[in-house]
Amino acid sequence: MDSIVVRGGKALSGQIEIAGAKNAALALMPATLLSDEPLTLTNTPRLSDIKTMTVLLESLGAEISSLQDGKVQTMSCHGLINTTADYDIVRKMRASNLVLGPLLAREGHAIVSLPGGCAIGARPMDIHTDGLTKMGAQIDLKDGYLHAKADGGKLKGAVIDFPFASVGATENIMMAATLAKGTTVINNAAREPEIVDLASCLTKMGAQIDGAGTSTITIQGVDRLHGATHPVVTDRIELGTYMLAPVIAGGEVECLGGRMDLVAAFAEKLDAVGVSVEETKAGLKVKLNGNRPRAVNVITEPFPGFPTDLQAQMMAMLCFADGTSVLEEKIFENRFMHAPELVRMGANIEVHGGTATVTGVDKMKGAPVMATDLRASVSLILAGLAAEGETQVNRVYHLDRGYENVAEKLGSVGADIERVAGR
């Protein structure tokens, strides 16, 4: 397996182009199932998860062409050949479950394997299936597959009250509702930018959606959707990750395509630790004021709160902070698996349940470490930017699911980093 090798001690300077959002693209791609006309996505990230979703959609009958080195995806689904999402594909990525709503809406039936993905805690499908059931679907679990059928072959609008604001369930129900008969209201809907981006794309395709970005979304079903061209929104998690790089390593980096509205809560925490974030015509410019960041407490919350997907990266930065910080993980259990690896590098971290206490240290030392999930992998790379000596991050196949060309991007601003091919 490949590994990433980082030799710390190099201050950073320059610009990093931020890719389109993985989590947005993975919801936008299944929207092609809702129409028999082409859907073209621009600013698509080049990631292994995108390839997995491509394979899944092609297995259902979609024709997909990649242009401009993969940054443009043109998808056409004029004829479905299959309504079963097979385990061998779905197990690789949790977002595969987002084909369930579109398949039900278009064909009236679907068989979808329970999904896989990073092992960062339970993310049950109940909230998805409960919502679809209220829309008239009959759903049974058999041998690890969800067998779903719409009553009378057509979903019906309904009022759906989510017990918590689930991003995936909001996306699944929103797509399903676009072709349902009548009006669907989603209460306690997720408010993430990826939800707004999906609603924008669906609206271009002819859907009638109001309230995206608020806790109540209303969808009036239509008879059919047509094709569209849509740019994928900037990846706020990649943006936040690279905003932390100069804070840890020193120097100044401009993140091209960055927008403050995508990372407002995160930027507030950076301000509290002594980081300057300047809006420019091209993006966001970041630098640390002083020699060390200050300690700060962090609680992960649904958007617009502090993102759980930036918790590991924030912990890496706080390992070098002046003082003691407390991080509370409120979204996923079992999401501190990166902490023992950071401790191997000399960090002072104590984990108790969903709380991690991080006392900053003067220095850390490079060590062989192992990535346990997507965000954990990049947090170890960030820590390696400031650690003495060499850090080797193993099992970086996790990294490829959510970050394109990490070594190239960090290397372009002065980091001493390389990807080493496995044997």
Amino acid at 287: K
The answer to whether residues 358 and 240 belong to one domain is yes
Residues 259 and 169 in one domain: no
Q: How many angstroms from the chain centroid is the CA of residue 96?
A: 13
Q: CA–CA distance from 205 to each of 97, 171, 208, 264 (Å)?
A: 21, 15, 9, 30
Clarify whether residues 297 and 330 are in a common domain: yes
Q: Which domain holds residue 219?
A: 22-231
Where a domain ends, among 231, 257, 288? 231
User: Cα separations (Å) of 168 from 311, 390, 403?
Assistant: 20, 38, 20
- Residues 175, 302, single domain; the answer is no
Do residue 95 and residue 122 come from a single domain? yes
- 161 has binding-site annotation: no
Residues 15 and 40 in one domain: no
4 is in an annotated binding site: no
pLDDT digits (tens, 9 = 90+) for 354-375: 999 999 999 999 999 998 888 8
Q: Is 315 helix (H, G, I), strand (E, B) or coil?
A: helix
CA-nearest of 297, 404, 420, 417 to 366 is 417
- Residue where a domain terminates, one of 210, 231, 252: 231
For 249-267, b/e burial (b = at least 16 CB within 10 A) is bbbbbbbbbbbeebbebbb
155 phi and psi, to 5 degrees? -70, 155
| Sign of the torsion formed by the C-alpha atoms of 299, 409, 6 and 121 | positive
**Same-domain pairing of 168 and 29:** yes
Distances in Å between the Cα of 324 and the Cα atoms of 132, 221, 273, 361 are 45, 52, 12, 10
How long a stretch of residues is the chain?
Answer: 423
Element (H, E) at 106: helix 100-107
Was 334 annotated as part of a binding site?
no
Query: Any known ligand binding at 22?
Result: yes
User: pLDDT digits over 36-83, tens only?
Assistant: 999 999 999 999 999 999 999 999 999 999 998 889 999 999 889 999
Assess whether 46 and 190 both reside in one domain. Answer: yes
Are 117 and 179 part of one and the same domain? Answer: yes
Q: Which alpha helices (DSSP H) does 345-405 contain, by range? A: 374-386
pLDDT, tens only, 401-417:
889 999 999 999 999 99
Whether the CB-CB separation of 89 and 59 falls below 8 Å is answered with yes
Let me know whether 351 and 416 are in one domain.
yes
Q: Are residues 190 and 250 in the same domain?
A: no
Both 174 and 317 in one domain: the answer is no
Task: Name residue 74's beta-bridge partners.
Answer: 40, 65
**Catalytic residue list:** 118
Mean pLDDT of the chain: 94
**Banded model confidence at residue 119, pLDDT cuts 50, 70, 90:** very low
Residues 6+ apart with CB under 8 A from 336: 315, 329, 351, 356
Number of domains in the chain: 2
Residue-level pLDDT at 117: 47
Q: Please report the pLDDT score of residue 412 as a whole number.
A: 98
**What average pLDDT does range 81-102 have in this prediction?**
92
383 has a pLDDT exceeding 60: yes
What is the pLDDT at residue 265?
A: 98
Catalogue the E-assigned strands of 338-415. 348-352, 355-359, 368-370, 390-394
At 121, the pLDDT band (50, 70, 90 cuts) reads: very low
* Spatial distance between the Cα atoms of 328 and 353, rounded to a whole number of angstroms: 9
The CATH number for 108's domain is 3.65.10.10
* Residue finishing a domain among 208, 231, 254: 231
Q: Is 348 annotated as a binding residue?
A: no
